[in-house]
Amino acid sequence: MPVKKLKEFLDANRVKYITISHSLAYTAQEIAATAHVPGKELAKTVMVRVDGRMAMAVLPASLKVNFDLLADTIGAKQVELASEKEFKQLFPDCELGAMPPFGNLYGMEVFVAESLTEDKEIVFNAGTHTELMKLSYEDFATLVKPRVVKLSVPV
């Protein structure tokens, strides 16, 4: 079962989505391979600290966050990878590292890689290491209102 909060939010907004169950996988590349999803369509959520506040960087599994590029693009003094210890309590309904890219449900800003906006649909962790959700990028953007920026480079 996907994160209850997310499912209720999507249902309340009449967004069509599907859930995909897969065998246990932790890394974005493992998940993409296990669930047979192209790496460019699997949206991974990377927790970052932007000038001391928590935020989400969302990008294709086939890319990695360039922290300096993200900082320059958004005009931040410092962008760093957040430690699990720093953010695990913010997502009580999620397995650690399986947070969906819906920062709006958790009171935080979401930055999305420009390349992800080219996908008709995106797939992302649904709060566990065995379940994904798939929905249109357009619906995601409408609900989350992410800031689309340059933040990534090839892995």
Mind listing the domains of the chain with CATH numbers? 4-151 (3.90.960.10)
List of residues 6+ apart from 1 with CB closer than 8 A: 7, 131
The pLDDT tens digits of the residues spanning 2-31 come to: 578 899 999 999 999 999 888 888 887 788
Residues of the chain with pLDDT under 70: 1-2, 155
What is residue 2's predicted lDDT score, i.e. its pLDDT?
54
| pTM recorded for the entire structure | 0.92
Using CA atoms, how far residue 123 sits from 49, 83, 85, 148, in Å, is: 24, 24, 26, 17
What is residue 1's predicted lDDT score, i.e. its pLDDT?
46
What is residue 137's predicted lDDT score, i.e. its pLDDT?
96
